[in-house]
Structure 1
Amino acid sequence: MKANIYFIIATLFLGLNFHLSKIVLAEVSFIEAISWRFTLAGITLFLLAYKNLKSLQLKRSSIKGAALVGGIGLLGFNVFLFLGLRNSSAINAALIIGLNPAITVLLSSIILKTSLKTKHLIGIIISFSGVMYLISKGNITSFQDIDFNYSDVLILIANIFFALHHVWVKKYSSELENTSFTFLAILFTLIGILVFLPFVEIQEIASHSTKFWFAISGLGILGTGVVFYFWNYSVQKAGADQAGIFMNMVPLFTALFAVFFNEYLYRYHFISALFIISGMLIMKINNRKMSYYSMILKRKLKM
């Protein structure tokens, strides 16, 4: 129950994050935005994990896990997400991230050797169809005329990194207390950011607006530090597949917050959301219900 509550709180802030990121990226480069985000998140998690860090005993596998989660999963997700958000809407980004459960299930079957059932494959196909419909802005009449949004494709790549993050958290985080593991992961994310810093120009702090500071504070402290503390705890307790399913709430919260950020919803948003959520619900159906529905369908076909 506690894990489910944490998942819901985390998805609420994740939905808000897409709008806050747009505000931040209007003033700074994506690398500077990521740097501020994870610096604030690192400070937040250090304060949360301070007592546990004093007695921290690291193992090689836990260091490897934190490096994969932070240095590849989180960093890769944020780099491609922020690159995509420069020319894509918060609503588009949230809907594409809604495909995360399908990608997580696929990667979980490869890395964690979890079973991949027929319902998963059906759900994945339906959900991916919804994302393709979104990326093409509903233009499916002629494949040659489809105007693919390059930024949406970048967000789709970001989704793969986020799915890897889920799987690696489940695989490696059990050896450490949640706040300690999450803090280490953020630390490795910051180390990864250092690789990019020589190639970008960082603006003077005094040049940033009050609006920027409010947005980056919400994004870093609540939307990253607190979110990943709640999220990783819930992944530890409930599993990576459950984390992916709760990601369905992110587009809903993003759409609700859109009212306050002058974002527009179009018909293709609703249609693609219907496909994505339907695919996720199919993946959630238990095997007994799936067998029942299959039996009913077979009877109707015979008639």
Structure 2
Amino acid sequence: MRATIYLIIATFFLGLNFHLTKIMLKEVNFVEAGFWRFLLGILTLVILGIKNLPSFKLILTNLKGISLTGFIGLFGFNIFFFLGLLHTSAVNAALIVALNPTLTIILSHKILKTSISKIQVVGMVIAFFGATYLVLKGNVTNLNNIRLNHGDILILIANVFFALHHVWVKKYNHTISNLNFTLLTNLCCLVGFSILLSANGVDRITSHTTNFWLAVCGIGCLGTALAYFLWQKGVQMMGPDKAGIYMNIIPLSSALLAFFFNENLYYYHFIGGICIAVGLLISQSATSKSLKTLS
């Protein structure tokens, strides 16, 4: 039960990121937006874990897992996702990201040797249908307007990296606390964006508006630090193959949060949300016994 709560809260904050990112990208490019996001995220994680920060020896011991999860799983996902969005539509990107649970289950099966149950597949299909219905705004004829391009390939690569992130969290996060693992993998992202930022330059801090800094605080503290901490904790407890289906909540949470950003809710938001919830409940029924054991 705890794992489920962690994952739902995490996806709620990740859904919030779509709105906060739009605010930030009105004033800066995605490289600078990523830099500020992970800088605030790391500061938040340091404050939360100030009494138990990792030692240099502990970092070296877990360097392989930290590097794979941080540089490839997180930083790789962010870079390819943003680059893909420059060349494709948000609808295309959302539909491809909705495939993440399927990719996670496949990679978990190949790398961690987890089993795939029929009921799990049924729940995944229903949740995917709900996410797709939501993204297409309740009109399946919108599929006719979708044209694949090289931007979609970049989004797909990003999706594979994020699925690998889920698997590697489960595989490598054993000898280090979840908070410190989250801190160090986020630090990998900050290093990556800092290198890119040094080549692109940064605008004067004083040139940014109050709304920009509020968005930075929101995406850094909630959408990065707490979201990744809770997500990785949930994945560690539940397993990547079972936790991955909760990714379908992200478009739903983003739609529900739109109300607070002066955007409207429509019937397809509720229908899509119901399908996602049903899919999660079906999938959950297949894993409840194992979750009780983990709890």
TM-score w.r.t. the length of structure 2 is 0.79
The worse-fitting range, judged by mean Cα deviation, of 248-257 and 134-143 is 134-143
Gaps of 5+ in 2: 288-295
1:102–1:123 contact (8 Å) kept in structure 2: no
Moved more, 229-238 or 38-47: 229-238
Bigger CA radius of gyration: 1
Matches within 5 A, 1:58-97: 58=58, 62-84=62-84, 88-89=89-90, 96-97=96-97
CA distance 1:59–1:186, change in 2 (3 Å): closer
1:244 aligns with 2:244: yes
Q: CA deviation at 1:12?
A: 1.6
The farther-off stretch of 6-15 and 166-175 is 6-15
**What CA distance in whole angstroms lies between the structure 2 residues aligned with 1:110 and 1:56?**
32
Give identity over the alignment, percent.
51
Contact 1:21–1:82 (Cα < 8 Å) also in 2: no
Is 37-46 or 233-242 further displaced after alignment? 233-242
Structure 1 residues not aligned, in runs of 5+: 288-303
Task: State the distance in 2 between where 1:93 and 1:274 align.
Answer: 22
How much has 1:75 moved relative to structure 2? 0.8
Q: Is the 1:95–1:251 contact (alpha carbons within 8 Å) kept by the matching residues of 2? A: no
- Which letter does structure 2 place at the counterpart of 1:211? N
CA RMSD of aligned residues (A): 3.6
Q: 1:16 Cα shift? A: 0.9
Question: Tell me, what secondary structure is at the counterpart of 2:69?
Answer: helix
Are the structure 2 counterparts of residues 62 and 156 from structure 1 closer, same or farther at C-alpha, using a change threshold of 3 Å?
same
Distance 1:154 1:281 in 2: 32
Q: Which moved more, 1:6-15 or 1:91-100?
A: 91-100
Q: C-alpha separation between the residues in 2 aligned to 1:93 and 1:126? A: 19
2:194 matched residue in structure 1 = 194
CA deviation profile, 1:64-110 (whole Å, cap 9, x unmatched): 11111111111122223334556755x87666544322221111112
SS at match of 2:113: coil
- Cα 1:166–1:136 shift into 2, 3 Å: same
Equivalence for 1:297 = none
1:237 Cα deviation after fit: 1.7
Q: 2:133 and 2:175 mapped to 1: Cα distance?
A: 41
Q: 1:274 to 1:201 in 2, by over 3 A?
A: farther
Deviations 1:10-46 (A, max 9, x none): 1221111111111111111111000000011111111
Q: CA, structure 1 residues 81+276, in 2 after alignment: closer, same or farther (shift >3 Å)? A: farther
Match of 2:215 in 1: 215
User: Structure 1 residue 56: deviation in Å?
Assistant: 6.6
Q: Which amino acid aligns with 2:147?
A: F
Query: TM-score under structure 1 normalisation?
Result: 0.77
